[in-house]
A = this chain, B = another copy of it.
Amino acid sequence: MSDQPLPVMQGPVCPLSLAHQTQIVIGHGSGGTMSHDLITRIFLPAFDNPTLRANDDAGVVQPNQVTRLAISTDSHVVWPIFFPGGDIGRLAICGTVNDVAMSGATPLYLTAGFILEEGLEMVVLNKVVASMQLAAAEAGVHIIAGDTKVVQKGKADGLYINTSGVGIIRDGVNISGAEARPGDMVILSGPIGNHGMAVLAARGELGFQADIQSDVAPLNHLVAAMLDAGQVHVLRDPTRGGLATSLNEIARQSQVCITIQENSVQVQPTVNAACEMLGFDPLYIANEGKLIAIIPPGDVKAIIEAMHATRYGEEAVVIGEVQQAPQGRVLMKTNFGSTRIVDMLAGEILPRIC
């Protein structure tokens, strides 16, 4: 991993600020600064309510005295449809399962909305649906409602899949990006950057052969094991915008500083090599089977042990800690002993990564 800020990620200010935009550009789907601008300027003012304002991966609501629900939605437009380690179907299931799980909820029910392009091969649809079935079985969730729309050739790109998810939050669990407290420790469940670089490899954009598999996986069983083992303040899966963007979101929501150690953040050698060659920083590359957990120091040992005993948590490590100040900042102690500011993703580096 490079310790030098790279051109595409540098600078705290997005050069294409929404204030100057009269049209949607690719960066608005980045998950980084431009996405946040779009949400803050257009969606939040219109739809404003406390749940949406909480700005977590899923909306948490309480329809009656005994039930707390976590509800999330994600549209999936990844291209290509199939990539090493996964496909749009597995991604659609895992993405939403994980968003629900990041509220500390047990995901139970999913909906699936398909937008199909005229001319899509039925064999492709069948393969994607079979992959969704497998992923749903692995996660233990049921798809209980669906919808199919067809648009003319040239009005989509094969297929897009929206999944929405509903889960039940356990009693006593209160997990949110706003719950990080000074003194808490930051855990990362495994090496980063696989999903983004696997999709890029599938596009043939690496320019060389690399054995990189997407990490796309359902994390709900891992989360359940963690909640059994101790107290968790924050959970987030670093998807679009990568680890750097997710940590920045949490630092802002909780008004804390998060400091991570560069040498604790694992990157597989093939992923690292691909990033170096293309000038990408793995901190900004999307993951689809990793989570960040922020937990009180007393619970670190038990939770890490529980993670290590669980599939998808075997490589969990502490990567940093939470401090009081500077508020809203993410800092990284580099391998060279210096400290650098880690900003949110500004533009867009990998469109249609999920």
Contacts and interface: CB of A to CB of B under 8 A. Distances in A.
Interface centre among A22, A120, A166, A351 (most CB of B within 10 A): A166
Contacts of A162: 73, 75, 113, 147, 162, 164
A23 to B, nearest CB: 5
A53 to B, nearest CB: 10
A125 to B, nearest CB: 6
Contacts of A118: 23-26
Interface stretch (A63-71, A184-192, A215-223): A63-71
Interface centre among A63, A76, A111, A162 (most CB of B within 10 A): A162
Contact of A75 (B113, B117, B122): B113
Interface stretch (A36-44, A228-236, A260-268, A304-312): A36-44
B61 A108 contact: yes
A115 B160 contact: yes
A152 B155 CA distance: 11
A325 interface: no
Contact of A126 (B42, B63, B77, B164): B42
Contacts of A82: none
Interface string A333-348: 0000000000000000
A58 B166 CA distance: 14
A4 interface: no
Nearest to A77: B149
Interface centre among A26, A143, A164 (most CB of B within 10 A): A164
Contacts of A108: 61, 63
Given A119-B24, A146-B43, A154 B151 contact: no
Interface string A143-163: 111111111101111001010
Nearest to A352: B151
A149 B168 CA distance: 27
Given A142-B51, A148-B39, A166-B69, A113 B74 contact: yes
A47 interface: yes
A132 interface: yes
B46 A132 contact: yes
A144 B52 contact: yes
Contact of A156 (B42, B111, B156): B156
A67 B75 CA distance: 28
5 contacts: A27-B150, A59-B111, A73-B164, A77-B155, A151-B351
CB-based closest 8 A-B pairs? A29-B150, A59-B144, A73-B111, A164-B164, A162-B162, A59-B145, A75-B113, A51-B144
